[in-house]
Every structure is written in structure tokens, then in C-alpha cells.
Structure 1
Amino acid sequence: MTETAPAEQSGQMSHREILEALTGLLLAMFVAMLSSTVVTNALPAIVTDLHGNQTGYTWVVVATLLTMTATTPIWGKFADLFSKKLLVQSALVIFSIGSLIAAFAPSMEVLIAGRAVQGLGIGGLTALVQVVIASMVSPRERGRYSGYIGATFAAATVSGPLLGGVIVDSALGWRGCFFLGLPVAALAFVVLQKTLNLPVVRREVHIDYLGATLIVGGVSLVLIWVSLAGTSFDWVSGTTALLVGGGVALVAAAVYVEGRVAAEPVIPLHLFKDRTITLATIASVMVGVAMFGSTVYLGQYFQLARGMSPTEAGLMSIAMVGGLVASTTVTGRLITATGLWKRYLVGGTFLVAVGLGLLGTIDDETSLLVIIGFMVVVGVGLGASMQNLVLAVQNTAHPKDLGAASSVVAFFRSLGGSIGVSALGAVLAHQVSGDVKAGVTRLAAEGRLSPSELGSLEHSTGDIPDVSALPGPVQTVYEAAMGSATGHLFLIAVPFAVAAFLCVLFIKEVPLRTHSGPAETAAPEATDELVQEDVRS
């Protein structure tokens, strides 16, 4: 066991020490974000190449979100019990294994499995980076470093779609997208080994595997029902009753286990006795539905409704990310300077609702400049709200619950995203299929399709065709259907953003603490032994 540096014994690190450790953490965050954004503009090509459909498109995204959601609170609880450095490095290894599975996937099923493994690692990186930063930096000073976080987020979000588009359009094809994060993950592993050196509180470990299993089982059944109902089986059917009934029963059992059985629940229910944590959690669900559920299909819109290449679709994402980066950076510095944060949450969620409402008006003919303006509004709103919801919870939670509280917010945001992507994907598939069938029928009645062309069109619910290969009139029909359906998705997302706005209105603003989590926990309890993590381990 090595000696703890004085700064770390007091729970405070120097600015230089924080920046050194932050380098590895930001690389890990970059990997997590890149894995999501790099695949966005590759999905149409992936689904076409592997002969998938709209449901498969949805589940390539949902599989990652679901495993990330299920494991985020477990990683957060681990952070309260084990070495944070070892946990972050383990998450990087798991992510890399999932990336390799996805890169070599011969079918949609294997690809979705690889994405699920990726999600296990991303869940760790998402939760642990926030927890470690909270352990090093006080809430009041955290805004000083939010610019670095925002810049990393922006770099991954901007470069991901662009790199993904370029890779898909190159000889590497879409499989190259899954190799992209591996060198960065390896670099992050090495940097963390050298720079991250935090105290660890060791105590008796009780991991709530039963609760976690029940939660992921219940959520999975509901998402499967939302994704497949109306296509694989009827909305009102025995299968629906089994999936919905089973999902509700598992979630109810999870609530009982978390509240009455588990010694160390993955979602400590006592956290929700605090109004700020409860309202911030509800707002996180709503933001997750609105953000993931609507924006994940923008890449598909630009390629299938506007005829863009993957690279061009990636360039369009700069608008939203630019607004997000500017908003995150400015609000972070203002919060550090003033200690006030609620106004930015209120303004941010309001702008998200307005921006989604504006995007709800788009179709396949809307001016791209107008769409860019709408995307900037959404980006500014997300930048002012997402990170600050986590900050509000971290500032309220007791230091011993810091990891669990941080991961609860991330958990429910990802849960909302999983629900949003799954539900809105089903809506998109149903609406596009119906509009295309009606359009093709009309073209046939007007004699604008030859019998051979009509016979070759076997468009079933959820199919994603190669639009450029369709007959001209059908291509126009498909683009119009995709454009109007995408606008409809944004309108559906608006009420969720409004609900998030109402939640943050009622959050009580508590002055930001000027000390970090470790500073408080440095006063040892009788049952805890403070030990120093050996950087050479």
C-alpha cells in the first residue's frame, strides 16, 4: 500500500493533478460517446447490408441503451465500494470486446448482441466518469471543468457522424466504424493507469444482482412489446398480455426487492425522499425520451428523406452539437461564478421543448437552413439541461450515496432513451409503411408503375430499402413518407420535454457546496478503512 498524497488525504487535488486524471477520464468519455455517434449515419447502410428492417435499425440502438441502462446503477454502486480506476479500466475492456463482436458480425442478430456488450462497457464509462469527477472536484468548482467535458462531448458528437460517414463511404465500409474506438480505449486505459490515483473506501460488499436482473427483465419485456406489436403480433393479443403483464410484474418485484430485501439496492429508494432528486430523475426520463427518441432518427431522415450521403448527414449534426457545446461551456462557467444553476435548467428544458416543436414541422421539402436553425435551438437547450440535472443531484446527495445518486440520474435518462427509441421507432416504421403502401397503390392506379416494377415492390412494414434503387415515382413517395413521419416523431417528443420543464420549475435551488465528495468522506466511519489505491497495481 502506498502513501496517500496530502492533497488526496484531505480529499482535495491540485488543478494540475485534476487535469492529469481528467485526461484519461475524458478519453474514456470520448470512447463512450463516439460509439453512439459514429454508428448513427452508418445504420442505413448496416441494415441494408445485413438485410434488416426498421425494427432491426431500432434495436441496434436500443440494445446498447438497454444494457447501458441496466448496468449504470450497478457500476455506480461499485464505485461506492471498489477501486474507481479498476472499474473504469474494466469498462473500457468490456466495451472493446463488444466493439470487436459488432465489427465482425455476420448478421443483424450478432450485431445487436455485440452492441449489447458495448452497452455494458458504456454503462460503466457513463456512470464512473461522472462519479470520479465528482470525487475530485467540488460542485461549485465543477463548472470550471465543464468546458473540458463539453469540448470532449462535442468532439465525439461532431467527429462521430463525420468519421462514421467517411468510413462508410470508404473501402472499409460500416465495419470500420466499430474499430474506430479501439485505439482510443487503449490509450485511455494507459493514461488512467498512470494518472488516476484516488482513495478507496473498503467495506462489506452487498451487490443487488436480483434487483438489477428484475429491472432489466421488466424493461426489456416492455420494450420488446413496443417494438414488435403491430408487426409480429397484434396490439391486442395473448402475446401482448404476456409481455406487458410480465414486464409490470417484474418491475413491481424489483421495487419490492429494492425497498425491502436488498441490503445495498442498485436504486436506493430513500434517495427519492429528497424532492430535488425525485424531480431531477423524472426530468431525466423525460429528457431521455425527447433527446434519444427523436434525434437518433435524424441521420436516417437526412439520408432516406433528403438523399444525403452518410458524410453529408454527419455534417448536418454540427448544428445541434455546436449549440450544445456553446451552451454547456457558457452555463458551466456562469454556474461556477455565481453558484446558481436552476435558471439554466429551466431555460434549457424550455428551449428543448420549443426546438422539438419547431422540428415537428419539418418534412422532405423543408429548407435545410431552417432545419439547422431548429437543431441549434434543441442543442442549446440540451447543453444547459443535461449536465446540470446531474449537478443538481450530486449537490443534494449525501457523500456516501454520491455514486448511486449520480448513476440513478444516468439510469433514468438512459431508460427514457430506450423507451423513446423503441416506441418512436415503432411509430416511424408503422407510419412510413402505411404511407408508402398507399402511395404505391395510388401510383399503380394512375398507371405510373409497370407490372414488373409493381411486382418487385414488396414493401412490408419496417423495411428500409435502398432508396436510390427504387423507381423514380416510388422514390419520391418514400422520401415524402420518411420526411413527414420524422416530423411526427418530434411532435410526439414535445410533451415529454414539456414535462421535464415542469419538473425543473419545482426543483428547490440549493447553493452549491464548495467541497467535494471525498473531502467529506475523508472523516472515516468506524466500519470503513480508507486505503490508497496503488497506481502500480
Structure 2
Amino acid sequence: MRNLPSPEADASFEPVVRLSHRRRKAVLTSVMLGLFLSALDQTVISVALRTITDDLHGLSRQAWVTTAYLVTGTVVGPMYGKLADVFGRRRTYAAAIALFAVGSLLCAAADSVTELAVFRAVQGLGGGGLASLAMTVIADVTTLRERGRYQGFYTAVFGTAALAGPVVGGVLAGQDTLLGVAGWRWIFLINLPLAALALVMVLRLLRVPHRPVRHRLDVLGAVALVAGAAPLLVVAEQGGVWGWGSRAAWSLYGAGLFGLAAFVAVERRAGDAALLPLRLFRVHVFRLGVTLHFMVGFGVFGAAVTVPLYLQLVQGMGPVEAGLASLPTAAAGFVVTLVAGRVIARTGRIKPCLVAGVACLALGLLVCAGLGRGSSMLLATAGMVLLGAGMGAAMQTMTTLAQSGAPRPDMGAATAAVHFFRTSGGTVGTAVFLSVVFSSAASHIHERISAASRNARFHHLAERPGNARVITSLLGPGGHGALQDSSALVRLDALLVRPFREGYADALHAAFLLGAVVMLAALVHAMVRVPDRTLPDA
């Protein structure tokens, strides 16, 4: 078993910022509140999204609400890393919080799914900095071996938000109005006081010694990154609707590849000022870390948006019930995060936790792929526990793996790159999962209705004018329209609802199975390629 290079062995590695325990605690507390703000927003909206898009009459377009946030958050992540290296962590983090709050206020005022998606994109411009800069600050004040434990706190914040978010989101989405405002709009309004508190704490407590990096800002690189990443993320979201081989899809493939090629050329010329320094990709463990982040992000983010759909569209739960049913995922993630962090801090080895975590994710998605309308909640809970445990064990270890090969002067850019690849994978995963579900759900439901129509009682109920109007409103006159408002299901007889729930289950099965395949590939990659090394305690 080999050790990673020690700081003394490479002059490019500077020692960590040594702070007293009290000051380190203050620094981490300040960024963790900002991180909690971002994490809570994502988990609150997960179970409420169906209610929101039903109210705005755009269920089939709900992917835009999620991916708009992820696209902007993904492409600005590397920019925040470079800005933090140039201007310092405190000012950059404060700007991210302020931008996130503005986006939240706009989201609360949205009157259509299109408006909400645009405003979520604005929110993502701030949210993209909250998560990536938190990891950067942790790296500033901890050694590699300590980092597993402290990044465990990072994941634990997500776990806490995951525990509270679904319940809060379900309760708010379940309210018709609250203080004269639609209940779901409070999901965004509650961000405002939290953002104000986080901003005050960051300005007062986030004081880490900063040595400014005297580089010009790589504006051309940022433009090229947006030009390359955005078309590919959009086609990932719309490919199932347009057709993966359609002219529109091929146009975006070409635009994206051209943009990425331009980005690589620009970054080579930018040298040390590059948004994502290309020299980092010559480091083996860094390449492994960001590749695994992309693959695991695909499955984790995809599952995060489709498990609540299974609970609500297939099991028939309301937002509050779905939020409570999701708690095992968060609880497992919270516990495993803390345990994995302690194990890494004690042993210095990250590969065992990484492999175990990815294996749990793969198994959890396979369990979810086997769920149907009649599946027991015990089986669904087992799948969610595996997903939570996998996230808790894998996420922090992949970050530490990538950071272990980065020189400290590049830590902001390196950590932003980790965030970029994870959220890129997550954006693609979210878009592909939802695209698979909503591009195939109508045809699956139509097939189930055709089979059920052989039942005389079903046929008789479906022919009643009131029921026929509801079915037409769900699927369109030809039976193959886009599903816009699933809340109409509550107005149907249980026998008529059954083929809808079975059709959704069929569509979700394909999405979960696709995620499991990607996770199995990530598992093989982790087992074969990741070296079993001991992290230095320096």
C-alpha cells in the first residue's frame, strides 16, 4: 500500500492554514449555514415539484425547473473557484449568497413553469458558489486526512437538509394558501431570512488568511465553457422529446463539442490564469476523482428527483407523506457520512469507503428498478436506505481523492472542478431520468389502458362523461399527449387510476435501470482504477 506524496515532497503543495480549534469552528460554521441554505432548497423542492408544476399546468416540463438551476450552477462553479482564488473566500461567498436570495425572491413570484425555470436559473447562479466554495474553505483549513471527517460535516449538512427538506416541502406544498400566498411559494420565500442570517455570519466569521493569486480573470474561458456545456445539458433534458437522433439534437451535439474544443484551446493559452487549469488533469487521482463524481452524480441526482415521483405517482402519496417516506434516505446518509469520515481520519484510506458507497448506490437503484404499483413500502425503504448510505460513503471520499492531487494554490479551481463534474453529471442524470420518464409515460399508460379496457367494468367506467373528460385532460384527445396535471387522478375511480399508476411505474423502471447501469460502471472504475493509498496527515 503506497502513500500519497507528502507536502514536503512537492514544493507546489503549501501547508494548510493552521487555525485554533475555536477559530476553525467559527469559519466552518459560517460556510455550513450557506451550504445548508443551498441543500435545503434542493431537498424542499424535490417533493413539492409535482404540486408546483400541477399548479402551473406544466407537469411534463418539470425537468426544466430542476435542470435550469443545475445548468447555471454547474457552469458558474469553476468561475467561483477562480474568483475565490483572486478576491478571497469571504467576498466571493457573500456575493453567492446575495445572488441566491435574489433568485429565490423571483421564483416565489413566478406565474408559469417557463418563468419558474428562468428564475431558477438565476437562483443557480448563486447556488453554484455555495456548495463549491464550502468545499474549498474546508480544504483551506484541514489536512488531507482530516478532510474526510470535515467533508463528512459537509455531507452531514446535506443529510440534515434532506431530513428537514422533504417534510417542510410537503407541508408547504400541501397548503392552499399561507398568509395569503400559495403554499408552495413559501418554499422559496423561506430562503430569504436564512440567506440574511448566512450573509451576516459569513461577513463576520469567514476570515481565513488569503494570499491573492495575481491572475487575470479568464473571461474567454468562462464564455467557452458556457458555450460548450449548456447545449449538451439542454439536449440531455430534451433529447427524449425531440428524439436523440433528431436534427435539433444533432445541432446541439455539434455546438456543444465545438464549444468544449474551444474551451480546451482557450485554457491551454491561458496557462496559470485558466478557469480550470489543464495541468490538474495530468494528475491521475484528480482525473479519477472528477470522473467518478460525474458518474455518481448522474445516478444520485437522477434518483433524487425520481424517487419522490415514484412515491407520489405510483404509490399515490401526498407531498407530506412522500416527504416522511423519504426520511430513511437522509437518515442513512447522515449516519454513514459521520462513520465514513471517522474511518478515513483514523486509517487514512479512502478506497474501502468509496467502493462500498458506489456499490450501495448501484444496489439501491437496482432495488428501485424492481418497484411497481404493488410493491411493499418495506422494499422501497430498503432501496432508499441503500441510496442514502451510498451517498454518505461515496461523496466525501471522491472529493478527498480529487483534492489529494491538487497543489494548494489551485485548490479553489480544483474544488470548483470537482463541483463542476459532479453537478454536470447530476444535471445530465436529472435530465435523462426525467426525459425517460415523461417521454415514455403516456405510451405506457395508453398500453395499460388498452389492456384494462378488456375488463367490462373498467370500460363502462371509462365511458362515463365525467371520467372520460378527466382521462382526456390527462392524456389529450388521442391518448398520447403530454401529462400536464396529475392531480386530476384523485377525481377518478380507483379502477381507472390503476393503469396510470402502472404506466408511471413502467416509465420509472427504465430510468432506475439506466441509473443502475451507470453506477455499476462507476463501481468497476473505482475497484480497478482507484489506488489503495494512505493519505498524509499534513
The two structures have a TM-score, normalised by structure 1, of: 0.90
Larger mean CA deviation between 346-355 and 220-229 belongs to 220-229
Secondary structure of 1:79's aligned partner: helix
Paired residue for 2:145, among 116, 140, 143? Answer: 140
Task: Trace 1:233-252 onto structure 2 (pairs within 5 A).
Answer: 233-252=242-261
User: Is structure 2 residue 194 aligned with structure 1 residue 180?
Assistant: no
Which residue of structure 1 lines up, in the alignment, with residue 468 of structure 2? 454
Q: Secondary structure at the match of 1:347?
A: helix
1:275 and 1:507 in contact (8 A); partners too:
no
1:156 aligns with 2:156: no
CA distance in 2, matches of 1:508, 1:455: 61
Verify: 1:495 aligned to 2:504, yes or no: no
- Amino acid corresponding to residue 186 of structure 2 in structure 1: G
Q: Which stretch has the larger CA shift, 294-303 or 406-415?
A: 294-303
Query: Is residue 329–residue 388 contact of structure 2 (8 Å, CA) maintained in 1?
Result: yes
Q: Which runs of 5+ in 1 are unaligned?
A: 1-8, 516-537
Distance change (3 Å), C-alpha of 1:254 and 1:472: same
Task: Name the stretch that deviates more: 432-441 or 255-264.
Answer: 255-264
Q: Match of 1:390?
A: 399
Superposition deviation, residue 74 in structure 1: 0.8
Contact 1:268 1:404 in 2 (8 A): yes
CA deviation vs aligned residue, 1:358-389 (integer Å, no higher than 9, x gap): 22111121100111112111211111110111
Change (3 A) 1:474 1:402: same
Residues 1:14 and 2:20 aligned together = yes
In the other structure, the counterpart of 1:53 is 59
Aligned mates of 1:34, 1:291 — CA distance in 2: 16
Q: Which one is further off, 179-188 or 123-132? A: 179-188
Identity, in percent, stands at: 33
Specify every segment of 5 or more residues in structure 2 that has no aligned partner in the other structure, as ranges.
Answer: 1-14, 476-480
Distance in 2 of aligned mates of 1:186 and 1:469: 42
For the residues of structure 2 that align with 1:418 and 1:186, how far apart are their CA atoms? 28
8 Å contact from structure 1 (residues 339, 512) kept in 2: yes
Following TM superposition, by how much is the alpha carbon of 1:249 offset from its aligned partner in structure 2, in angstroms? 1.7
Which SS does the other structure have where 1:202 is aligned? Answer: coil
Pick the aligned partner of 2:496 from 474, 481, 501. Answer: 474
Q: Confirm whether residue 511 of structure 1 aligns to residue 520 of structure 2.
A: no
Q: Name the counterpart of 2:7.
A: none
Alpha-carbon distance in structure 1 between the residues aligned to 2:431 and 2:63: 6
Q: What is the letter of the counterpart of residue 365 of structure 2?
A: L
Q: Cα distance 1:263–1:176, how it changes in 2: closer, same or farther (>3 A)?
A: same
Contact residue 81 and residue 200 of structure 1 kept, 8 A: no
How far does residue 223 in structure 1 lie from its aligned partner after superposition?
Answer: 3.0
SS in 2 for 1:13: coil
CA-atom RMSD in angstroms: 2.0
Q: Which residue of 2 aligns with 1:127?
A: 132
Letter in 2 for 1:101: L
Q: Is the 8 A contact 2:333 2:388 kept in 1?
A: yes
Please list the CA deviations of residues 476-497 of structure 1 after superposition, one character each: whole Å capped at 9, or x if unmatched. Answer: 1111111232232111101211
Of 91, 99, 105, the residue aligned with 2:96 is 91
Paired residues of 1:396 and 1:510 also in contact (CA < 8 A)? no
* Stretch deviating more after TM superposition (96-105 or 465-474): 465-474
Report the CA distance shift for 1:384/1:485 in structure 2 as closer, same or farther (over 3 A).
same
Worse-superposed segment, 236-245 or 404-413? 236-245
CA contact (8 A) 2:288 2:402 kept: no
Does residue 279 of structure 2 align to residue 265 of structure 1? no
Alignment partner of 2:214: what SS?
Answer: coil
Cα distance in 1 for residues equivalent to 2:447 and 2:508: 18
CA contact (8 A) 1:208 1:262 kept: no
Equivalent position of 1:118 in the other structure: 123
What amino acid maps onto 1:42 in structure 2?
A
The separation in 2 between residues aligned to 1:296 and 1:270, in whole angstroms, is 35
Q: Distance in 2 between matches of 1:10 and 1:474?
A: 63
Segment of structure 1 superposing worse, 238-247 or 90-99: 238-247
Is 1:483 the counterpart of 2:505? The answer is: yes
Deviation digits for residues 434-472 of structure 1, max 9, x if unmatched? 111223344556533116333551411343421213454
Separation (CA, whole Å) in 1 of partners of 2:533 and 2:224: 34
Partner Cα separation in structure 2 for residue 104 and residue 29 of structure 1: 24
Distance 1:442 1:351, change over 3 A: closer
The CA deviation at 1:281 is: 1.1
Shift of 1:230: 5.2
- The whole-number CA distance in structure 1 between the counterparts of 2:88 and 2:315 is 49
The count of corresponding residues between Structure 1 and Structure 2 is: 506
Task: For 1:103, give the aligned amino acid.
Answer: A
Report the AA paired with residue 524 of structure 2. L
Choose the corresponding residue for 1:32, options 38, 47, 55: 38
State the Cα deviation string for residues 401-422 of structure 1 (Å, max 9, x = none): 1111111111101001111111
Shift of 1:234: 4.8
Q: CA offsets, 1:115-134, max 9 Å, x none?
A: 11111111101111110111
Contact kept, 8 Å, 1:430 with 1:462, in 2: the verdict is no
Query: What secondary structure sits across from 2:417 in the alignment?
Result: helix
Question: In structure 1, what is the Cα distance between the partners aligned to 2:531 and 2:449?
Answer: 55
Within 1, Cα distance between the matches of 2:404 and 2:272?
24
Shift of 1:514: 2.7
* Aligned equivalent of 2:301, options 292, 314, 318: 292
C-alpha change, 1:10 and 1:154, in structure 2 (3 Å) is closer
Structure 1 residue 71: Cα displacement: 0.7
1:102 paired residue among 97, 107, 116 = 107
Equivalent of 1:422 in 419, 431, 447: 431
